[in-house]
Amino acid sequence: MHTRSRGFTLIELLVVIAIIAILAAILFPVFARAREKARQTQCLSNLKQIGLGWMMYASDYDERVMPVEIPSSTSIAYYWWTAYDTSTSTRIPEGGLLYPYMKNQQINACPSFMNAMRSDVGHTGYAYNYVYLSPMDYSTWPNWKVLPTSLAAIQSPSETVTFADGARISFTDMKTLEANTYLDPPSWAYPGFHGRHNGVGNVAFADGHAKAETPTYREGTFGYGYDAALYKSNNLGDIDSDGNLATDEMFDLQ
Ligand SMILES: [Ca+2]
Ligand SMILES: [Ca+2]
């Protein structure tokens, strides 16, 4: 009597392996997107807290918004995200202007951007609308001034960006993506809004809400001969609502 082998034949085994490989190829990107979605949610929570800290700062300083940095006559430089001792090249995170309202440097870290630490910045992922909220006056150099606006001057708080997912192409090698804490508006030199969460980036607004936005990408060359394709391939774009990159309606005080 012929008895059938109870094991798999080689063909059957190959078919099973092929099916597993196909399922893995289909599911792994889905898992990766789901993980990225979770990081996006954590990032949104960070930005919301940063935005609320920014509002608390203003209420402690006569309704004047937080300056992007404070001119100093000593070796200590004060920025919104950290202080920095230029004589020893060391960061002093607790000296950051927003730190008293955060008490936690980790909030400055976007979970999707942890590998982009810069020694002078630390873990960060967020950039500040400094051009309109905290303009700088260099006309009296070296005694330059920072002129943070008043909360009351912001006419549409729910449509005015305070902070957003930020990054820049390294000025040194012109290809590496690195942290950037200054968010330029569309009419300025280069786009710094980073769509790092499945193609969207998070944005905080002056009324305290935060939400995801899709970057608007530039074309051709711009600024000092920058290649728009390089920026787009790194998800670096602008925050814009009217399709005109010459106007800064999401950043200005109107
Ligand atoms: Ca515009
Ligand atoms: Ca506006």
Give the ligand with the smallest distance to the CA of 240: 1
Q: How far is the CA of 239 from the centre of ligand 1 (A)?
A: 8
pLDDT value of residue 172: 85
Q: State pLDDT tens for residues 129-159.
A: 999 999 999 888 878 899 999 999 999 999 9
Number of domains in the chain: 1
Ligand located closest to 132 CA: 2
Region 80-109 average pLDDT: 92
Query: What average pLDDT does range 180-189 have in this prediction?
Result: 94
Give residue-wise pLDDT tens across range 9-66. 999 999 999 999 999 999 998 998 999 999 999 999 999 999 999 999 999 999 999 9
Does residue 139 fall inside a structural domain? yes
Q: How many CB atoms lie within 10 A of CB 59?
A: 10
DSSP annotation of 148 reads P
Three-state SS annotation for 99-125: HHHHCCHHHHCCCCCCCCCECCCECCC
Task: pLDDT band for 71, please (50, 70, 90 cuts).
Answer: confident
Residue range 77-81: average pLDDT?
93
254 located within any domain: no
| CA dist., res. 92 & res. 94, Å (int) | 6
Is 69 part of a structural domain of the chain? no
What are the pLDDT digits (tens) for 162-182? 999 999 998 888 888 999 999
CA 251 to ligand 2 center in whole angstroms: 6
Q: Which ligand is nearest to the CA of 205?
A: 2
In percent, the amount of the chain with pLDDT more than 70 equals 96
Distance of CA 148 from the midpoint of ligand 1 (Å): 22
Q: What is the per-residue pLDDT for 1? A: 56
- Residue 221, both tokens: 């060359």
Domain assignment present for 34 = yes
Segments forming the whole domain that contains residue 31: 12-61+105-237
Q: Average the pLDDT over 110-114 and give the result.
A: 89
Q: What is the mean pLDDT of the chain?
A: 92
pTM: 0.89
Which of the two residues, 3 and 155, has the higher pLDDT score?
155
Length of the chain: 254
Nearest to 183 by CA among 132, 127, 135: 127
91 found inside a domain: no
Q: Count the helices and strands in the chain (H runs, E runs).
A: 4, 16
Mean pLDDT value across residues 95-110: 91
Residue 87: inside a domain, yes or no?
no
| 66 contacts: CB under 8 Å, gap ≥ 6 | 54, 57, 58, 80, 97, 98, 133, 134, 148
Peptide bond into 29 cis (omega under 30): no
Which numbered ligand comes closest to the C-alpha of 251?
A: 2
Question: Which tokens sit at 244?
Answer: 């005109």
Kindly state whether residue 213 falls inside one of the protein's structural domains: yes
pLDDT at 110 over 90: yes
3-class SS of residue 217: coil
The 10s digit of each residue's pLDDT in 214-244 is 999 999 999 888 999 999 999 999 999 999 9
Would you say residue 216 lies in a domain? Answer: yes
